[in-house]
A and B are shown apart, each in its own frame.
Chain A
Amino acid sequence: MGQAQALSGTVIVMSTARDQILGGIRKSLGRETSPSRQEAEARLANHPRNLIPQRAHVAVEERLELFVAQATAAAASVARVRSLDEVPGAVSSFLAGHNLPQRVKLSPDTFITGLDWDGQPTLETDTGKAIDSDLASVTGAVAGIAETGTLMLASGTDRPTTLNFLPDNHIVILPADRIVGVYEDGWDKLRQDGDLPRTVNFITGPSRTGDIEQTIQLGAHGPRRLHIIVVEDAA
């Protein structure tokens, strides 16, 4: 302790754990500031991209195919519909296909609540954050990331995070034009929107564990099923 004195030649009172830890780092590195400090400043200001895998450099249609293939490989199910009008019907058939009650908790996001849910009279909807008894939720997503079939979701006043984790079934409505190549593209989108949301979730397939005998079992604590409805023309 107290080694910064030796470096600077003046006695600095280092009273807090914070100063001692930071001082200890400088002492171990043997200097007060790093020769690459400017580089570090620039890195934070410009957040440059590093190497981007080739697989994501594909035309728009192929990107969609890549996303679907990768999401499916991660055990998500994917349905494709032509327009937003078809979404409530697709939600209903997903529930029917798994013998689930026709009931969903919708994200308050107007993109979701604005869909024609009344057109599905047998489907009960409710809006808000998730509670324990919710069996299925419906949310949007900021982006779909083709390189690994990953969804990027962000929290907000109309986008509670619990919808992504508590219900057994998570249904995500993804307009095809939100499918981007790589994670970095997703961050660019969020940066354009302004302040970084409090929670950003990257979700690749449903919840799983390999903790017992290395056997992969789906549905550990989060959703047992992740269903993605890709909307080809969401205009």
Chain B
Amino acid sequence: MKPQSHLFKENAKKALNDANLARALNNMKAGFQDKRRATIAKLPEFQDLRDQARDLKNHTLENLDFYLSRFEDRVTEKGGHVHWARTPAEAREAVLEICRSVDAKTVTKGKSMVTEEIGLNDFLIESGLTPIETDLGEYIIQLRHELPSHIIAPAIHLNKEDVAETFRENHTQLDPNRRLDQVQDFTDEARAILRQKFQSADVGITGANFLIAETGSTVIVTNEGNGDLTQVLPKVHIVVASIEKTIPTLEDSATILRVLARSATGQEYSTYTTFSTGPRRPGDLDGPEQFHVVILDNGRSALLGTEAQDTLRCIRCGACMNHCPVYGSVGGHAYGWVVPGPIGAALDPGLIGLEEAHDLPNASTFCGKCAEVCPMKIPLPKIMHHWRVKEHEAKLSPPRFRQGLAMWAWFARRPRLYRLGANAAIGMLGRLGAKRGRFAKLPLAGGWTAHRDLPAPSRGTFQQQWARHKRSQAPSSS
């Protein structure tokens, strides 16, 4: 699939009018936000751990060349193979070559955003292979030929009825009288179907949450267990991971893992965290005979040393989108690329180009919630601002200096968004301009205020706004 980010405004508008999508996205509050808050409250060191996680990832990025080559050495020592890919095409070719070398027909896959980024499934299909997604959410969207709409909950945009329809269309053996309305019905159905696939696959492909330089281990963090079945049953295990997944040691993984699940799903720890080091060893009764790691750059190395470097600390927990009023209103597909939400807005322009993605950094209410919840302390609004400045410099569309406001106003007019958090932004605008009734400077809005003063909204302070906003939310939340 090609990026559709240039259609953001159009797609966002459609999404805002989609009642089913709104219903699905409404699950995020109880599903993600409340659980995260409760779990974090139980760990007094959480904020200090965030600082450490940020610092250790910064240190890693500063020495990324060193840690990556050490990782490669260790993988090789353990009998694995490392393949380097500058571009998606090189990564796809590397995967295909490995598959061909073992005459593979069927490939099972664990959830991996990087393989979405490189368009691996379509490519494998064109090359005559059958890739099968095994994460439940990924499996559903593969059947529907969609991109994931969330990095940890790929099918979050769907309701049970949508899934039932998809299963009935695709699982032709399914008894029409069979009940499909409970979550368990779907889980059991997918479990039964995918069991056979796990066993018959020739190659298993996973992503990696981390690459450990000290040991040459690749790490996956999952809840379903599909990733583990994907990497332990087939003859060949291929890991596709981007360069910034590297961290120094096992101890460092412990630190980041302490903030990952808590930020993502609000679990204390995910169900399965698995460290894989090389292929099956002599005498082992199971495990892959071959172990390959494809390391992808695809524009990331060029982000080092720029204002977008901090995006490379991202551990793909999803917290920023789970708390984002814009994401919460338009969902992930509107963003038009694999990584949506605030991190998508901060990262995608660097990966797919500003021309394609220039609307994304404008899709913000300036509420700052994303940076507040990010376990890696990535200053997301600041990076979005950086892209807006770049966009202005590049003069991607002539009156672009007003884009920051135009986009904001566009969102603020949408009642659902407005309810969800744009109030905070209006309050903030009001506060910033309160002294003179006009803004001369607005730090988050990019170029436009440099050219034009604006009347300040007079809707009270940020705090008042927020309190009123919360009160208005209270009756509907449980």
Contacts and interface: CB of A to CB of B under 8 A. Distances in A.
A217 B56 CA distance: 35
A213 B159 contact: yes
Given A202-B273, A219-B187, A29 B228 contact: no
A156 B268 CA distance: 28
B32 interface: yes
Interface stretch (A171-179, A204-212, A227-235): A204-212
Interface stretch (B120-128, B191-199, B362-370, B447-455): B191-199
A94 to B, nearest CB: 20
Contacts of A26: 65
B254 interface: yes
A34 B155 contact: no
A136 interface: no
Given A132-B199, A214-B31, A34 B63 contact: yes
A84 to B, nearest CB: 24
B211 to A, nearest CB: 13
Given A36-B62, A148-B269, A199-B287, A25 B304 contact: yes
B156 interface: yes
Nearest to B233: A162
Nearest to B266: A210
Interface string A14-56: 0011101110111111100110110110011001111101110
B248 A51 contact: no
A162 B232 contact: yes
- Chain A residues touching B, majority SS: loop
B459 interface: no
Interface string B296-311: 0100011111100000
A166 B273 CA distance: 16
Given A74-B268, A187-B251, A214-B28, A22 B69 contact: yes
Given A198-B277, A217-B183, A222 B31 contact: no
Chain A: number of interface residues, binned into ranges: 35 or more
Interface stretch (B278-286, B335-343, B372-380, B406-414): B278-286
Interface residues of B, number: 105
Contact of A43 (B249, B258, B272): B249
Interface stretch (B129-137, B390-398, B416-424): B129-137
A44 B223 contact: no
A221 B63 contact: no
Given A40-B67, A165-B225, A202-B269, A50 B251 contact: yes
Interface stretch (B10-18, B84-92, B469-477): B84-92
B241 interface: no
A93 interface: no
B184 interface: yes
A132 B286 CA distance: 14
Given A204-B268, A219-B191, A220-B225, A161 B232 contact: yes
B24 interface: yes
A215 interface: yes
Contacts of A222: 224-226, 228-229, 271-272
A58 interface: no
A16 B183 CA distance: 49
B444 interface: no
Given A25-B301, A201-B274, A210-B31, A221 B134 contact: yes
A219 B280 CA distance: 27
A213 B86 contact: no
B270 A204 contact: yes
Interface in B1-56: 24, 27-28, 30-32, 43-45, 48-49, 52, 56
A209 B224 contact: yes
Interface string B127-159: 000000011110010000000000001111011
A113 to B, nearest CB: 14
Enumerate the 4 nearest inter-chain pairs by beta-carbon distance, A residue then B residue, closest first.
Answer: A222-B225, A214-B31, A157-B283, A220-B224
11 contacts: A28-B305, A29-B305, A43-B248, A50-B52, A129-B286, A198-B78, A201-B273, A209-B187, A212-B163, A213-B160, A214-B156
